[in-house]
Amino acid sequence: MSELKNIFGQPIGQSMKKWTTRPLPQDITLEGQDCLIEPLSPELHTKSLFQAFSLAENESDWTYLFFGPFTNFENFKEFITMAYQSTDPKYYTIMDKTSGEAIGLISLMRIDPVHGVIEVGNVVFSEKLKRKPAATEVQYLLMKYVFESLQYRRYEWKCDNFNLPSKKAAQRLGFQFEGLFRQAIVYKERTRDTAWFSIIDSEWPLLKQAFELWLSPTNFDETGRQINRLESIRIPL
C-alpha cells in the first residue's frame, strides 16, 4: 500500500512531477555477441527472411500471430512492405552476426510515450534462431534499449492464453503475469483471451544482471549447452 496521502487523507501513488514524455523507438541498430537488431528493410531483408521462415516443418509458428502464414513469396513481400511502413508496431530484423542473414522479426508496439509504456510483440523466430543463445540475447538487447535508452517505465508482453510456449517464454525472461483479459480480441476468425505480462523499470537492474551472467561465454560448455538456466541465475538475485 502507498504511504503517501493527499490532503484528504487518501492514499496516492508516488509523485511523478519530473516525468516527461518519452521518445518514440527509432531506426537503431543494437549489437550483441551473436546477433544484430536493425531496422526492417524490404530491400535487404525480404528474401533472406522468407528463406529462413521457409525452413519450418509446418505453419504452426503463425497460429497465434495476427499475420501469416504466407503461401508464397509475393504475399510475404507485401507483408514486409506494410510492416516497413508501420510506425506502431515498429518492426526490426534480427540478423545473425556470423552469416549476415536475416533470421527473425520482432517489434515494439502499442507505444505510449506519454505514460512510458511499450509492448514487445509480433515475434517470429526462424529455425536458425530458435533455442539458440541469440534468441535470448535479442530479448535482452531490446529490453535494454527500452529501459535505458528510451527510459520507458513499463515493458509488456501479451499473448493468446492458449499459447503456452509464449507464456513460458515470458516467465523465463522475467516478465510477471498480471492476469487474463477474457474475450479481449477477435483475430483470424476466432476469439482470444489475452494473457498479460510485464516488467517495470525498477525490476530491470536485477534482470539485466541475470541476462548478462547467462549470456556470458562461461555459462556454456564446449558443445554450446547452457550450464545454468536463466531462471536459476535470477532466483538468488
Q: What are 187-230's pLDDT values in tens digits?
A: 999 999 999 999 999 999 999 999 999 999 999 999 889 999 99
Q: Tell me the per-residue pLDDT of 62-86, one tens digit each, with 9 for 90 and over.
A: 999 999 999 899 999 999 999 999 9
Burial pattern 25-45, b for ≥16 Cβ within 10 A else e, equals: beeeebebebbbbbbbebeeb
Specify the pLDDT at position 71: 86
> Does the structure show a pLDDT above 90 at 1?
no
104 neighbors 129 (Cβ within 8 angstroms): yes
Confidence of residue 3 (pLDDT cuts 50, 70, 90): confident
**pLDDT, average across residues 4-23:** 93
DSSP-derived secondary structure for 31-92:
E-SSEEEEE--HHHHHHHHHHHHTTSSSSGGGTTSSS---SSHHHHHHHHHHHHH-SSSEEE
Mean per-residue pLDDT for 95-110?
96
pLDDT for 120 equals: 98
What is the mean predicted confidence (pLDDT) over 149-161? 98
pLDDT attached to residue 198: 98
Residue range 119-129: mean pLDDT, rounded: 97
Q: How far apart are the first and last CA of the chain?
A: 24
Residue 237 has pLDDT above 80, yes or no: no
Lowest mean pLDDT among 6-10, 117-121, 154-158: 6-10
Q: Which helix (H) or strand (E) holds 93?
A: strand 90-96
pLDDT band at 45 (very low <50, low <70, confident <90, very high): very high
Per-residue exposure over 182-220, b if at least 16 CB sit within 10 Å of its own CB, e if not: eeeeeeeeeebebbbbbbeeeebeebbebbeebbeeebe
Instruction: Give pLDDT, residue 187.
Output: 97
Amino acid, single-letter form, for residue 42: P
Instruction: Name the band, by pLDDT with cuts 50, 70 and 90, for residue 90.
Output: very high
Q: Is the pLDDT of residue 2 over 60?
A: no
Above 80 in pLDDT, residue 231? Answer: yes
Mean residue pLDDT of the chain comes to 96
